[in-house]
Structure 1
Amino acid sequence: MKIRCLIIDDETLAHDVIESYIKEFPLIELVRKCNNAIEALEALQQEGNIQLLFLDIKMPGLSGINLLKSLPKAPDIIFTTAYPQHAVEGFELNAVDYLLKPFSFERFLLAVNKVRHKIELESRSAAAQGYFTVKADKRIHKLNFEDVTYMNSIGDYLKIFLKNGKVIITGETLKSIEESLPSNLFLRIHKSYIVAVSSILYIEGNQLVIAGASLPIGLKYKDQVIDRFA
Structure 2
Amino acid sequence: MEKNARGGSAPVRPTRRINNGLFILNGECRQRYLYVDILLVEASRSYCHVYLKDGTRLTVTSPLLALERKLPWQFFARVHQSYLVNLLHVDAFFGTSVVRVGGKLIPVSKPYRKELTEVFNILEDTSKRLDKKEDKE
| Aligned counterparts of 1:214 and 1:131: Cα–Cα separation in 2 | 24
TM-score by length of 1: 0.42
d(CA) in 2 for partners of 1:172, 1:134: 11
Partner of 1:132: 22
Q: Is 1:213 aligned with 2:91?
A: no
Sequence identity of aligned pairs in percent?
19
TM-score (norm 2): 0.68
Deviations along 1:11-30, one digit per CA (max 9) or x if unpaired, are xxxxxxxxxxxxxxxxxxxx
Q: Match for 1:173 among 63, 66, 69? A: 63
Q: Give the structure with higher Rg (CA).
A: 2
1:151 alignment partner AA: V
The DSSP-based 3-state class of the residue aligned with 2:106 is strand
Shift in Å, 1:137: 4.2
Aligned residue number for residue 34 of structure 2: 144
Q: Distance in 1 between matches of 2:102 and 2:30?
A: 27
Check whether the contact 2:45–2:63 (CA below 8 A) recurs between aligned residues: no
Q: Is the 8 A contact 1:190 1:221 kept in 2?
A: yes
Structure 1: how far apart are the matches of 2:81 and 2:26?
22
Shift of 1:192: 0.8
Give the whole-Å Cα distance in 1 for the aligned partners of 2:46 and 2:29.
18
RMSD: 2.0
String of CA shifts for 1:30-64, please: whole Å, max 9, x gaps: xxxxxxxxxxxxxxxxxxxxxxxxxxxxxxxxxxx
| Aligned residue runs from structure 1 range 48-59, under 5 A | none
- Alignment of 1:162 with 2:52, yes or no, is yes
Q: Which runs of 5+ in 1 are unaligned?
A: 1-124
Structure 1 residue ranges (4+ consecutive) displaced by more than 6 angstroms after TM superposition: none
Q: CA distance change for structure 1 residues 138 and 173 in 2, over 3 Å: closer, same or farther?
A: farther
Q: Distance in 2 between matches of 1:180 and 1:168?
A: 16
The unaligned stretches of length 5 or more in structure 2 are 1-15, 122-137
Displacement of 1:222 after TM fit? 1.3
The structure with the greater share of residues assigned to strand is 2
Any residues of structure 2 matched to 1:42-121 within 5 Å, and which? none
Shift of 1:140: 2.6
Distance 2:35 2:69 in 1: 13
CA distance in 2: counterparts of 1:134 and 1:194, whole angstroms: 17
Q: Matched residues in 2 for 1:151 and 1:138: separation? A: 22
Distance 1:129 1:139 in 2: 19
Q: How many pairs were matched up?
A: 105
